[in-house]
Amino acid sequence: MLNISRNPLNKNVDLSEFKSASHVFDKDYYKYWRRFLGGFAIVCLIILFLPWTQNISGRGNVTSLTPGQRPQTVQSPIPGSIQEWFVKEGDFVNKGDTIMKIAEVKSEYFDPNLVQRTEKQRQAKAFSVESYQGKVKAQDVRITALNQERRLKLKQAENKILQTYQKVKADSIDLVAARTNLEIAQIKYNRADSLFQDGFTARKRVEDARVKLQETQAKETSQEAKLLVSKNEVINAELEISRITAEYADKISKAQSEKFSALSSQLDTEAQVQKLENSVSNYTIRNGLLYITAPYNGYIQTALRGGIGQTFKEGEELVGIIPAEVDLAVETFVEPIDLPLIHKGEKVRVQFDGWPAIVFSGWPNVSYGTYGAEVVAVERFITKRNGKFRVLLKPDPDDHPWPKDVRPGSGAFTMALLEDVPIWFELWRQLNGFPPNYYQPEDESSKSKTKMSY
């Protein structure tokens, strides 16, 4: 019956005459299997014509929409050493709360009274500025007095010149009168001498005329001398004006030189005062930097520098802090071939790591555990770390809100929904390695048409 021997029985004996053999050899064993395969083929054929939503999937991380709300590390702008901790990991801190106290490690800042001493130096320099200002004012008063005195001296010398001119004029007139008297005396003497020679007058009269003539000659000579003296006085008066001008020019120049010297010292001291004020401000601000404070409300995540007395350089990370309130967003990465299909404002589905979900990428309506998102920004330059383009997503206001327990840094799976196509077309596209259908959102296509109509 089993036909396992080398001499099969069914070849030597006709089994069709037996009733049991007819039940065994004539029975259709594959009838239901063929029906199942036919039904399955019909169902697969129907599925091939069902709609399938093309999508662009990507992996990303939860982040913050606002850069100021992202997790960060707190650095010190100055070098120092840790002196005291005021928090521990996991503590909640408000903005401005002190996290740690540090101490200076540079010798030029060791003095605890550095600000006060520098302030005293600034006050001393400021007093020097006031002294120089007083000296400049005193020199201005001196220059004014010298100018006034010079005007008076010049006016006096000019008056003296006028007087000497008048005296020269008077002496000139007197000289002319003396010469006239001399001529008259000479005529009288000649007439007396002529009369004496003719015997008409006495000798005494001739001698009197001669005496008178000599007196007149003496007066004329004296008057000439007076005129020369007057002219010399004019010359001396003119020289006096030149002397006064030169003398006061020298005095005024010397006073102006002292004034500008004091002014230069004043300006130099003012520059030193400004420098000291800058130092006071820098030292005051530096003293405030000895206390590391929280930049916003958040939780202390990691103490990157532990212990007491440990030194660090400026800019080194000291402690990590995460914000308490975050405007959640998702940063995802797409392939360069899919970048032209991503536009600002498009809808995206997001699945967060750790949250149960049943995802059918082509049937978003039957997916469970995904949340709506909207494209906020698309990066214009490729990311060097993974060779993809970064896309930033925010919660969709028209969808149910994201879970409150999602934390920045957790992973996320994203699906950007595109056009609806038959499943057979999607299989054919995937097998050939073609990109999804290129399209533009309706608002952008309408805008392009409007521009083309113009």
Segment 68-91, tens digit of pLDDT? 777 888 998 889 999 999 998 889
Same domain, 370 and 307: no
Query: CATH no. for residue 435?
Result: 2.40.30.170
306 and 186 in a single domain? The answer is no
Both 245 and 353 in one domain: the answer is: no
Predicted pLDDT of residue 437: 60
1 occurs within a structural domain: no
Enter the pTM of the model.
0.56
**For the domain that residue 271 is a member of, what is the CATH number?**
1.10.287.620
What is the tens place of the pLDDT at every residue in 131-180? 888 888 888 898 889 889 888 888 888 888 888 888 888 878 887 888 88
Mean pLDDT of 371-393: 85
Whether the pLDDT of residue 453 is over 50: the answer is: no
Give the model's pLDDT for residue 64: 83
pLDDT at position 450: 32
pLDDT of res. 232: 85
Q: Within 10 A of 125 (CB to CB), how many other CB atoms are there? A: 19
Kindly state whether residues 209 and 338 are assigned to the same domain.
no
pLDDT tens digits, one per residue of 289-314: 899 999 888 888 888 887 888 888 88
For residue 206, is it within any domain? yes
Q: Both 226 and 266 in a single domain?
A: yes
372 and 273 assigned to the same domain: no
Determine, yes or no, domain membership for 438.
Answer: yes
Considering the chain, what percentage of its residues have pLDDT values greater than 70?
A: 83
One domain for residues 261 and 361: no
Tell me, yes or no, whether 43 and 176 share the same domain.
no
Is residue 454 domain-resident? no
Looking at mean pLDDT, say which of 31-35, 219-223, 353-357, 375-379 comes out highest. 375-379
pLDDT band at 365 (very low <50, low <70, confident <90, very high): low
Lay out the sheet containing 98-103: strands in order across.
291-293, 98-103, 80-85, 311-312
Specify if 100 maps to a domain: no
Mean of pLDDT over the chain = 80
What pLDDT is recorded for position 21? Answer: 64
Domain of 83, CATH number, reads 2.40.50.100
Q: How many domains does the chain have?
A: 4
Residue 371 is part of which domain span? 53-69+326-449
Per the domain annotation, does 311 fall within a domain?
yes
Tell whether 370 is covered by a domain. Answer: yes
Across 318-345, average pLDDT: 83
Q: What is the pLDDT of residue 99?
A: 92
Same domain, 407 and 315: no
How much is the pLDDT for 452? 31
- How far, CA to CA in Å, does 71 sit from each of 161, 264, 405? 95, 54, 16
Q: What are phi and psi of 333, to 5 degrees?
A: -125, 135
Quote the pLDDT of residue 176: 83
State the CB neighbour count (10 A cutoff) for residue 268.
14
Q: pLDDT (tens digit, 9 = 90+) per residue, 338-350?
A: 777 777 888 888 8
Asked if the model's pLDDT at residue 369 lies above 70, the reply is no
User: 131 and 144: one domain?
Assistant: yes
Residue 25 has pLDDT above 70, yes or no: no
In a domain, 101, yes or no: no
**Do 224 and 136 fall within a single domain?**
yes
Same domain, 62 and 34: no
